């Protein structure tokens, strides 16, 4: 990987290994001095090296944008609502909820989805307020990005469960909830995040039953 000269970019490179029809992150170590990315894999199958944008990074980016919007606000009611949205999103990023930027803790990770549903509800409420001092389209776009990050968390958990040969019934339920989440999110329903939470929970439970 000699073409990558930025150390932060290099650290975000992942080895994605093909397993049972999905790409699984099998990265084990990075050595910037030798430009080497190592992985531990269970079999010799096709792989790719890619720079991933993690769900946590996406959420952190939305948090930064909301904070910038808040700084420019003059309407007190709007500012109060946005403060509440930012607080919920901040709580969802608490280190205690996360294993790494791609995975939530099995016991506490569902809190991430619950907090972000509250953020999305508040952003939608602000967006549909006729006299809001913030662009409704911008707020809806940010809420969509939060939902997308939650979907990614659920999909990663499903991929991990499949790769670990987890309980197939739980995986099936996870995929059903994921599809339901896609439908609700497409209709701008905050319940889509509940669906993604349930998909994540089924996938996580599947891995426990392997």
State pLDDT tens for residues 81-104.
999 999 999 999 999 999 999 899
Confirm whether 124 is domain-assigned: yes
**Are 130 and 178 in a shared domain?**
yes
pLDDT at 182 (0 to 100): 93
**Are 117 and 167 in a shared domain?**
yes
Taking Cα atoms as reference points, which of 196, 209, 210, 108 lies closest to residue 153?
196
Confirm whether 43 is domain-assigned: yes
**Are 20 and 60 in a shared domain?**
no
**Are 40 and 73 in a shared domain?**
no
Confirm whether 2 is domain-assigned: no
**Are 100 and 86 in a shared domain?**
yes
Average pLDDT over residues 148-159: 92
For residue 15, the 8-state DSSP code is: E
For residue 6, the 8-state DSSP code is: -
Domain count, the chain: 2
**Are 89 and 15 in a shared domain?**
no
**Are 92 and 175 in a shared domain?**
yes
**DSSP-assigned states of every residue in 29-97:** EEETTTTEEEE--SS---EEEEE---HHHHHHHHHHHHHHHHHT---HHHHHHHHHHHHHHHHHT-GGG
pLDDT averaged over every residue in the chain: 88
Confirm whether 145 is domain-assigned: yes
pLDDT at 173 (0 to 100): 97
Average pLDDT over residues 164-172: 93
Q: Is the pLDDT of residue 20 over 80?
A: no
More confident residue, 8 or 20: 20
> pLDDT tier at 30 (50, 70, 90 boundaries)?
confident
**Are 167 and 188 in a shared domain?**
yes
**Are 112 and 32 in a shared domain?**
no
- How buried is 101 (Cβ within 10 angstroms: 0-12 exposed, 13-18 middle, 19+ buried)? middle
Confirm whether 39 is domain-assigned: yes
Domain range spanning residue 151? 55-208
pTM of the model: 0.77
Count of CB atoms within 10 A of residue 118's CB? 18
**Are 37 and 127 in a shared domain?**
no
């Amino acid at each position: 990987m000699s073409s990558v000269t930025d150390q932060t970019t290099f650290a975000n490179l992942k080895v994605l290994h093909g397993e049972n029809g999905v790409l699984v992150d099998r990265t084990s170590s990075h050595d910037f001095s030798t430009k080497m990315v190592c992985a531990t894999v269970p079999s010799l199958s096709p792989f790719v090296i890619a720079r991933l944008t993690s769900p946590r990074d996406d959420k952190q980016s939305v948090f930064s944008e909301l904070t910038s919007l808040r700084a420019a606000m003059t309407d007190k009611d709007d500012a109060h609502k946005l403060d509440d949205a930012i607080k919920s999103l901040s709580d969802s990023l608490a280190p205690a909820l996360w294993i790494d930027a791609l995975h939530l803790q099995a016991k506490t990770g569902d809190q991430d989805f619950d907090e972000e549903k509250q953020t999305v509800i508040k952003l939608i409420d602000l967006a549909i307020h006729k006299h809001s001092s913030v662009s409704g389209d911008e707020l809806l776009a940010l809420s969509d990005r939060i939902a997308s990050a939650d979907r990614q968390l659920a999909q990663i958990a499903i991929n991990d469960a499949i790769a670990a040969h987890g309980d197939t019934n739980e995986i099936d339920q996870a995929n059903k909830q994921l599809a339901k989440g896609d439908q609700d999110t497409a209709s701008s329903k905050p319940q889509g995040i509940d669906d993604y939470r349930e998909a994540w929970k089924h996938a996580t439970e599947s891995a426990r039953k392997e």
